[in-house]
Amino acid sequence: MSAYQQLTDLFQRLSRYEHLGAMAGWDQLTMMPEGGSEARAEAMAELEVLMHHTLTAPEVGEWLAQAATESLDDTQHANLREMQRAWHDAVVLPERLVEARSLAGARCEQAWRRQRPENDWAGFAANLREVVSLSREEAAIRAEATGTGRYEALLNKFEPGLGVAELDRLFDDLRGWLPELLTRVVERQRAHPVRTPEGPFDREAQRRLGVATMTRLGFDFDHGRLDVSLHPFCGGVPEDVRLTTRYREDECLGALMGIIHETGHARYEQNLPQAWRGQPLGRARSMGVHESQSLTFEMQLGRSEAFLRQLAPQLVEHFGARAGFEADNLVRLAQHVEPGLIRVDADEVSYPAHILLRYEIERSLIEGAIEVDDIPALWDEKMQHYLGLDTRGNYRDGPMQDIHWTDGAFGYFPTYSLGAMLAAQLMAAARRAQPGLDEQIAAGDPGGLFDWLKTHVWQQGSRFDTPELIRRATGEPLDAGYYRRHLEARYAG
């Protein structure tokens, strides 16, 4: 058996372990009773160690070296490149740290479920300190191995090859025009009042609407399902994709847009290349690309006037006729811009400010410029600076609102804004390729968009690195100008 074949067998085995871990993680966030948290944390940590041990066994390095000398075709070479990247990412970390990181993250997340409703920053901070300490240790190890900065070393886990210098260039540009645009849009919308439909909105009716919308968006319910969690997410594996949302009875649009967002993630996963399932080449390219798919669904499509006018009668069908469900008002409501405290509920224009805030804090935290106890004051300062809002003493809707830091996902937040930039560029490319695309969407048929994404993004998996994937899909490198032009056309045009 060739070294390359031994590697493909190894990664197929790892993908099955990951399948089990994904299902255990989904259950942990949706169905597991609180009393099972410690045992589940230990079980998942054991699985993490098993996967790490399997990938970093001495013979794997030998197989990688031998496979590089074998006769492989282009796709096999690309798969080997991704195998090498996965191995390098794993081999630098000691098993002790892998286990400790998994345990600390699971315990912090479970405690956060209780602490956030109670606004218990002190209790949350006690657990977060351990997560940060382990994340700093990981960052230091990765930085030394790769010759990068510590935060960049963690950023590369989610967006391989992206340097902090490039990220700062993109974000500095964003800081240059976003505040003025936000102010201008808020002022402009004052002349166009919005009526908010009054609840209550039955949760089961909201679920049925969500399922109907997922069906219209092409979600395959034979290979996935919709559930409820404290923080919406998309998880599972391509063969069994798990979506969650959260419902409020006083409004219905938030849960629905969350479902549309997660459906974008899910369609990407469900349409990854079947021939390469279980291999690194068959994975999604990066979190920035993943977020571009969810934001293409939610923002580019879901909040477009064409889609919203199709949605209006669906709201009436599921909740009955109500003031505010009129198509013109629904468009204004879904495109209403108003700075708020909660990131996942933020409008499209103010959302990037939430990402800038988190990026600045988590980068300083990982690089040791600040400590966990400094976060609330910095959060208050940056919320006032970027959004003009006061969060003093409101930890629940401030630095405790997101789940990402609980398990050490430092470096993840920037991918949301990278995804928004790429989504705008992809949508522009799809329109160029299909001049009648907007008319098709207005007629209730977004299939042309999905076919284009399937060809240019979904079916490509990880065959190309992110810059090459973007260039092949759109004909040019990532250009944040598309994002700015999109926001200005929709909200200030």
Amino acid identity of 330? L
Residue 142 sits in the same domain as residue 187: no
Q: What is the pLDDT of residues 30-80, one digit of tens each?
A: 999 989 999 999 999 999 999 999 999 999 999 999 999 999 999 999 999
- Band (pLDDT 50/70/90 cuts) for residue 354 is very high
Residue 163 sits in the same domain as residue 244: yes
Active site residue 468: no
Residue 46 sits in the same domain as residue 184: no
Residue 82 contacts by C-beta under 8 Å, 6 or more apart in sequence? 279, 280, 281, 283, 462
Residue 389 sits in the same domain as residue 441: yes
The answer to whether residues 401 and 361 touch, using CB atoms and an 8 Å cutoff, is no
Residue 322 sits in the same domain as residue 458: yes
Q: What is the pLDDT of residues 135-175, one digit of tens each?
A: 999 999 999 999 999 999 999 999 999 999 999 999 999 99
Residue 133 sits in the same domain as residue 200: no
Residue 391 sits in the same domain as residue 284: yes
| Structural domain boundaries, residue 493 | 156-493
Rounded to whole angstroms, what are the CA distances from 433 to 262, 325, 473? 25, 33, 11
- Annotation-wise, does 261 bind a ligand? yes
Edge-to-edge order in the sheet of strand 234-237 = 224-228, 240-245, 234-237
Q: Which of 126, 155, 184 is the last residue of a domain?
A: 155
Dist. CA 486–CA 493, nearest whole Å:
10
CATH number at residue 351: 1.10.1370.30
How many structural domains compose the chain? 2
- Annotation-wise, does 88 bind a ligand? no
Overall average pLDDT of the 269-276 stretch: 97
Residue 210 sits in the same domain as residue 130: no
Residue 191 sits in the same domain as residue 44: no
Q: Which of 121, 136, 155 is the last residue of a domain?
A: 155
The answer to pTM > 0.75 is: yes
- Band (pLDDT 50/70/90 cuts) for residue 190 is very high
Token pair recorded at residue 48: 């993490």
- To 10 degrees, the CA torsion angle through 427, 159, 233, 248? -70
What was the pLDDT predicted at 231? 82
- Annotation-wise, does 265 bind a ligand? yes
Q: Which of 262, 269, 305, 362 is catalytic?
A: 262
Token pair recorded at residue 407: 């398990």
Q: What is the pLDDT of residues 391-435, one digit of tens each?
A: 999 999 999 999 999 999 999 999 999 999 999 999 999 999 999
Q: Which of 101, 133, 155 is the last residue of a domain?
A: 155
What was the pLDDT predicted at 230? 84
Residue 342 sits in the same domain as residue 468: yes
User: Residue 320: is its pLDDT beyond 90?
Assistant: yes
Residue 223 sits in the same domain as residue 108: no
Residue 312 sits in the same domain as residue 271: yes
Dist. CA 156–CA 147, nearest whole Å:
12
